[in-house]
């Protein structure tokens, strides 16, 4: 095999590895914002520590995927709130009540905390029940999640400096 062909194969392999890494992060971030438990932060930190992928792209992929997962919660609240007692539903009745109180106290700005474990999923569902405009919902949730991932990446950078 010529040197050029071997180099092209390495390039394809590298691109495929990058695509697989981004797809893995997208999947982890999306699922962790839906009914399945997950930890996209672990995947993000692992990829960031490898220093092979663009940190800005990692931030974008994680934020978009996690925000889209939260949109699933909004849809469930908007169209399927009557199923909230079901075992698979992303928020228990107690979590829904707590999230409703947060909305009562903080208004729509509570959505910037949709990344918070336990209460975050319920906030997105309650936003759907309350018919919060999807565009505004997406902006507030996305900003909160982006800020959380920025903090995670800064932490990963500090960790990289130590190890």
Is the pLDDT at 160 greater than 60, yes or no? yes
- Rounded to two decimals, the pTM is 0.82
Q: How far apart are CA 68 and CA 46, in angstroms?
A: 22
- For CA atoms 66, 72, 76, 77, give the dihedral sign: positive
> Could you read off the pLDDT of 15-54 as tens digits, one per residue?
668 999 999 999 999 999 986 767 899 999 999 999 889 9
What's the confidence (pLDDT) of residue 141? Answer: 97
Tokens of 141: 């949730």
Show me where the domains of the chain are located. 3-162
pLDDT of residue 60: 98
* Residue 131 three-state SS: coil
Smallest CA-to-CA distance from 96 within 68, 128, 71, 69 is with 128
């Amino acid at each position: 095999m010529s040197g050029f062909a071997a180099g092209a194969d390495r390039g394809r392999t590298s691109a495929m590895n990058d695509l697989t890494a981004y797809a893995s992060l997208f999947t982890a971030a999306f699922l962790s914002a839906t009914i399945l438990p997950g930890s996209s932060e672990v995947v993000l930190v692992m990829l960031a520590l490898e220093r092979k992928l663009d940190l800005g792209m990692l931030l974008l992929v994680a934020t978009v995927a996690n925000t889209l997962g939260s949109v699933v919660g909004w849809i469930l609240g908007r169209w399927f709130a009557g199923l909230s007692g079901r075992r698979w539903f992303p928020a228990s009745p107690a979590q829904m009540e707590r999230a409703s109180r947060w909305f009562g106290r903080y208004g729509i700005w509570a959505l910037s905390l949709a990344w918070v474990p336990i209460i975050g999923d319920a906030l997105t569902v309650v936003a759907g029940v309350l018919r919060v405009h999807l565009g505004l919902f997406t902006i507030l949730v996305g900003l909160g999640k982006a800020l959380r991932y920025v903090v995670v990446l800064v932490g990963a950078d500090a960790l990289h400096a130590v190890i």
